[in-house]
Structure 1
Amino acid sequence: MRVLLTGATGFVGRGLLERMSALANLELVATLRRPVPGFPESVVNLQIPGIEPNTDWEKGLEGIDAVIHSAARVHVMHDTSFDPLAEFCRVNVEGTLNLACQAATAGVRRFIFISSIKVNGERTASGAPYLADAQPAPTDPYGISKMEAEQGLRALAAETGMEVVIIRPVLVYGPGVKANFLSMMRWLYKGVPLPFGAIHNRRSLVALDNLVDLIVTCLDHPGAANQTFLVSDGEDLSTSELLRRMGAALGKPARLLPVPSRLLEVGAAVFGKRDLSQRLCGSLQVDIGKTRELLNWTPPVSVDDALRKTAKNFLEQHAK
C-alpha cells in the first residue's frame, strides 16, 4: 500500500510517521513545507508550500492508495486574524477539498480526514457523552471549518466513490505534547499548589499511540468506509484524577487545593480565562462504542502507561 501523509511534522503527524515508517508492505509519502534534518530515509518526502485552495498535488498523488490528511490550520486560543472563520475555511475547508478532489481524480481509494471533537461541541453534561453520529454543534471558527470540511468530503464520496473516513479526536497527549498539557506537567514538576482538588468533571482524552493505532486501522479496514469515528482512551478522568495520576507518573505527588469549581469559573471569567476554565472544570466525554464495534478496535495503551511515557519524555526534555 502507498500512503500520502500530510502534516508529517505536526504532533499527530510525527506519531504517524514513527509508526508507519516501520510497517512492512507500506510505502509512505510525507508532505513537508521545507527539508527536515533527520527525516526517515525510508519515507519519500514531498515539499508542498501549504494546504491551499490551489495547491497542485499531482506529483504527490501518483500511485497513492490512501491519503491521511492531518495537516490543518489549528485552533488557537487568541486568534488575531481579521476574519478567523475565513482563514480557517481557506485551509481547513477549501484546502482539504482541493486535495480530496485531486485524490479522487487520481484514483485514490480511501481518504482519512483527521477532524476534531469540536465539531460535536465544547462541553457535555456529565454522563451524557457525545456520539459519532449526533447532530454537530461547533461553536468556534475552527470547529465550524472542520464541520464544513466533513460535509464537503461526504458529498465528494457520494459523487466519486472514493471512500472517506472521518476521525474526531478529543485532546491528544503523549511525548512532545505542548500547550496546556505541557504547562500542567511543569506545574506538577515544580510542586506548585493547584486549586483543582474539588473538580469532579469527566473528560475524555486520547493518547497519541491510541490515536495513531486507530488511524492505521482505518487504512484498510472494510468497516471504516464512509464512517465517522470518535476516539479516546476509553477511560474518562476528572481534572483532579488526571493531575494525581500525571503527578505519580512524574514522581511528583500533586498538591491539590479543594477550591470549589464555581469559584474557579468566576475567577477565570474576571481574568479573561473562561476558555481555560471550561477545559479544567467542565466535562467533555465521548462514546467510542461505534468505533469499538464497527472496527473491533480497543485502545491498545492504558491511560497510566501513556502518562508514564509522556512523563518520561518530559523529564528527558524539560526537567533539567
Structure 2
Amino acid sequence: MAATGNVTEIIFLGFSQNENVQKALCVMFLLMYAAVLLGNGFIVVTIVASKGLASPMYFFLGFLSLVELCYCSVTAPRLILDSFIQRRVISLHGCITQIFFLHFFGGTEIFLLTVMAYDRYVAICKPLHYVTVMNRRACGLLVGAAWGGGLLHSAGQTVLIFQLPLCGPNVIDHYFCDVHPVLKLACSDTFLPSLLIILNGGSISVVSFAVLLASYTVILRSLRSRTSAGRRKALSTCASHLAVVGLFFIPCSFVYMRPCVSLPVDKIVAVFYTVVTPLLNPVIYSFRNAEVKDAMRRLTRRKAVWGEK
C-alpha cells in the first residue's frame, strides 16, 4: 500500500535561513557542481574516445565517473535552486523519487568501487591470467551486476519509505530527501522499517568493505616480492582507489550504519558523499594518472585541429 497521511509536500530547512549565507552557499555549490560536471564528463568522453584507454581499469573508471555525475545531479541542482527561494518545497512523490535515485546511484557506486578493487587484485596478483579473467564479457557482467545491485538496494529502501503513513509535521532539517529525515514524519511505529533500512544499507557496506579489505590485504602482501618500480606503480593506483573509497565509505557509513536518527552534522557529512567525492574523483583517480592526462591532451589537440578546420 502506498504512503498515506496528511503529508502531500515536504519543506526543507536547508543549510541556513539567512539570505546572505544562502547566496554564498549557492555560489559555492554552483561552482562545485560545474566542476563535477566538467571533470567527470571530460573523463567519460576521454575514455570513450581514446583507444589507448581500453583496459578494464579505465572501462570501470569511465562508469564510475558517469555514476558520480548522476549521483551529484540528484541533489546539487535542487540545492542550488532552493538557495533563491525562502520556502523550499518538494512534493511527496518527488521526495520519494529523489530517495530512489539517491540510493540507486549511491549503491551502484559502492558496487563499482568493489569491482574496481577486484580488478586491481587480478591485475597485480594474477597478471598472467588478467586478460583471460577480465575479458570484455566479464567486465560487462560486473558493471551490469553493479547497476543491478544498486537498483535492488534502492528499491528496498524506497518501498520501506513509500509504505509508511506520513502525518508530519512536514518539515525536515535537511537539504534533500533521505530515509532518516523522512522516517521522522511517520505517524506509525518505525522500529521495523528502521531496522530493515539499516540492514539493507549495512549489509551492502559490510560485504563491500570485506571484499575491499581482502583484496588490498592480498595485494599488499604480494607487493613485497616486486621490484621497487613495480611496487611504486601498483601502490600509486591502489592509493588513488583507497582515497576515493575512504571519501565515500566513511561519510556514508556514519549516516546509514547507525540507528535512524537525524543529527545536525548530517547535512555537512552528506555534502562529502554527494558533492565533494564526485568533485575530487577526477583529481584523485584520473588527473594524477599519466595515461589519462596524455589521452586528455591528445583529445584536446584533436578538437583544436578540428575547430581550426
- TM-score range, shorter-chain basis? under 0.3
TM-score normalised by structure 2 residue count: 0.25
Q: Which has the larger radius of gyration?
A: 2
Higher RCO (CA-CA < 8 Å; seq separation 6+) = 2
- Greater strand fraction, Structure 1 or Structure 2: 1
